[in-house]
Amino acid sequence: MVTVLLLVGVLVAIFVGYNVGGATTGPAFGPAVGADAISKSWAAALMTVFFFIGAWTIGRRVVDTLGTELVHDPGVFTLEASIGVLFFIGLALFVGNFFGVPASTSMTAVGAIAGLGLAGEELNWAVMGEIAIWWIVAPFIGFWVSLIIGRYFYAYLNQRVAMERSVGPLLRVDRSRVIPVPVPSATTSRRELGGVTTVIAIGCLMAFSSGTSNIANAIAPLVGSGALEMNPAIVIGCLAVGIGTFTIARRTLETMGNDLTELPLTAAIVVATVSATLVTFLSWIGIPASFVVIATMSIIGLGWGRATRPLTVSEAVRGKQQTTVSVGALAADKVGEELPPIGKENPATIPRASDLFDPSTTARIILMQNLVPVIATLGAYLTFRFVPIFGI
């Protein structure tokens, strides 16, 4: 009987990992795919590899937090309860993936485990409070760091990084050598190659940070129950994530790469670097982090900082001129142009024609970002509270 339950638990964990891959690939490689810098298949492959590296190194810290510290008594993670928790995590994430929205896997997993803890009166409110505080603080850190970069450094970064994509493929295969190797196409400039390489490298960093935080969402209940050892659980979870990156992740790649926003390359690099750094730091201290929320606040902060460049600090504080966060605000600095000092820039040089977010897509994402964790939390609580089979 235990063997059958363990098999069911592993299958449900694979289902969760599959949906984690679908939910996290879009935020990591959406900008690169949207810019035609990399194909969806290559994005899936890189996501799988770097997710595994992050999971194997730092990710086990978050597994410990969710599997043994979020509840007072890890014994509440019976094999039956672990299967139930994983089921609600996977179900909620599947709802988000079905609608093409990259839901917060960490918030969903914490919600499901918290539902179990509440039902069994074993929830560690101190740990839950620490996680909740970081969920509030981290996005604001991302916002302010990005705002400072947008106001004081973005224009100079854009001078070095911004580029125009050439027509045709970025690389071609040179078959004249003993071993065929990819080389830049004739229309590809060195600047373009360097910029595209950078945005792909940033995607790999984001995949690594995702592994550090999100592997726990698929395996923490089984590890906490003692049904699986840490190392084989990580391998199983990462294989499941890889399956998700090659299949259902195509929906979220489309949403994050094309529907939601058209971030310039420089902005995508800044947002990804700030967000991935924060998520990796939080994983290092054992806090499951919401990459999507942090990245969204980083985008807003970056655009807001860039839009306030025509104002001095005192004018911005007094609200002398209303600013609009837009793609134009993030893309206004042209390569080769002399940069005016802050407070002296002509506001007319910052276009406001296109909004940063597509309204309908943004509304759908905000709705699902809040609905998915609620589904997991309420579903887990009601099930563990009122279904006797789980025996808690």
| Residue at token pair 């672990």 | 82
Q: Can you give the pLDDT at residue 267?
A: 80
Return d(Cα 59, Cα 63) in angstroms, integer: 7
Domain residue ranges in the chain: 2-390
pLDDT computed for residue 338 by the predictor: 52
CA distance to 59, 219, 343, per residue, from 14 (Å):
17, 9, 54
Q: What is the pLDDT along the chain (392 residues), one digit of tens a residue?
A: 558 888 888 998 998 899 888 878 877 887 677 666 778 888 899 999 999 999 999 999 999 999 889 988 888 888 888 888 888 888 777 776 676 665 677 888 898 899 989 988 889 999 999 998 998 899 899 999 999 998 888 878 877 766 565 666 666 677 777 777 767 776 666 777 777 788 788 889 989 999 999 899 889 988 988 888 999 999 999 999 999 999 888 776 766 555 444 567 778 788 888 988 999 999 999 999 877 778 778 877 887 887 776 655 555 555 554 444 444 445 555 544 555 555 555 555 554 434 444 556 556 666 767 777 888 888 888 888 887 665 55
Entry pTM: 0.78
List alpha helices for the chain, DSSP H: 2-34, 40-54, 60-64, 79-98, 105-119, 125-148, 154-161, 190-225, 230-246, 249-254, 265-284, 291-307, 313-318, 327-331, 359-386
In the prediction, which pLDDT does 57 show? 94
What digits encode the pLDDT tens for the residues 277-336? 999 999 999 999 877 778 778 877 887 887 776 655 555 555 554 444 444 445 555 544
Residue pair 60/235 in contact by the 8 Å Cβ criterion? no
pLDDT tens digits for 160-215? 766 565 666 666 677 777 777 767 776 666 777 777 788 788 889 989 999 999 89
